[in-house]
Each structure stands twice: as structure tokens, then as C-alpha cells.
Amino acid sequence: MSRPSWDEYFMEIAHVVKKRSTCLRRQVGAVIVKERQILSTGYNGAPRGLLHCIDIGCQREKLGIPSGERHELCRATHAEQNAIVQAAYSGISIKDATIYCTTMPCILCSKMIINAGIKRVVFEGSYPDGMSLDILREAGVEINKVD
């Protein structure tokens, strides 16, 4: 029997987390880990207590806005944002942690990752936002893309 690596293990958990997503366009999951312990998880969906896109439709889809553009018109909070906010809501420090994302973080999430003190990003999949990886590198965040 072969065991998955730690990165494979936590990425698989991120894939389970994304199943809770309520976004019509893209399902994303994120898991924040420190010292091999899960600190927080998040998936993309409407803020707590609000109607979800699966219930009322996608405004960005109706307006024909391409993926990666006009984030302010999206009803959902991104998975990485939700994982970071959930840790803060619970009073959990994520400084020096690793975040596992099923999709490359966008520029907004990357800025939050940097300011939250997360030191490593492991992700699958791409996102149409080249600036995102540039600022993560500039901030000294370790980036690992996995297949």
C-alpha cells in the first residue's frame, strides 16, 4: 500500500471541500495547514446568510464577463478568502502556514495570502491572472503547482 505525500493528502481534502461550492462557473476549495494540521477550509460561495448563485443565477454570466475579470461583480467570496476569514473568525493564527487551492489564486486572494502571513501556496489548475503569481513571488511566498 502506498501512502500519499502530505501535499497529495491535503490537496485531496481541498477537492472534497470544493464540493460545497455554490458557484455556477467554477468550484474551488482551499485548505490552510500548519505543521500538518488543518487550521481552516473554504470554498467559493455567497457570504454567510445570503442567497447563492445556484439559487438566483450568476450576474457575471448574465453580463458576459470573462473569468478572471471584474471580481467586484461576483456575488461569491473566493475559497482562499473564505479559508482566511474563517480562521480569523475562529481566532486561529495562519501565520507561516501553507494554503492548498484547487485553482491558482487570483490577484485579490494572493494579496490576502501575503497579508495573512501564509508562506507557501500549493495549487492545481490555472486562472487567467498572470499578476497573481508575480506578487506572490515578489513577497517571497513559496509557490508549488501540482498536477
**Tens digit of pLDDT for each residue in 89-147?**
999 999 999 999 999 999 999 999 999 999 999 999 888 778 999 999 999 999 999 98
Q: Which of 48, 118, 110, 117 is nearest to 77 (CA)?
A: 48
On whether 101 is known to bind a ligand per the annotation, the reply is no
CA distance 128 to 118: 22
Q: What average pLDDT does this structure show over 51-57?
A: 87
The C-alpha atoms of residue 85 and residue 110 are separated, in whole angstroms, by: 14
Tell whether 109 is in a known binding site: yes
Q: Which of 8, 80, 124, 138 is catalytic?
A: 80
Q: Is 6-145 CATH 3.40.50.1480?
A: no
80 part of the active site: yes
Q: Is 15 annotated as a binding residue?
A: no
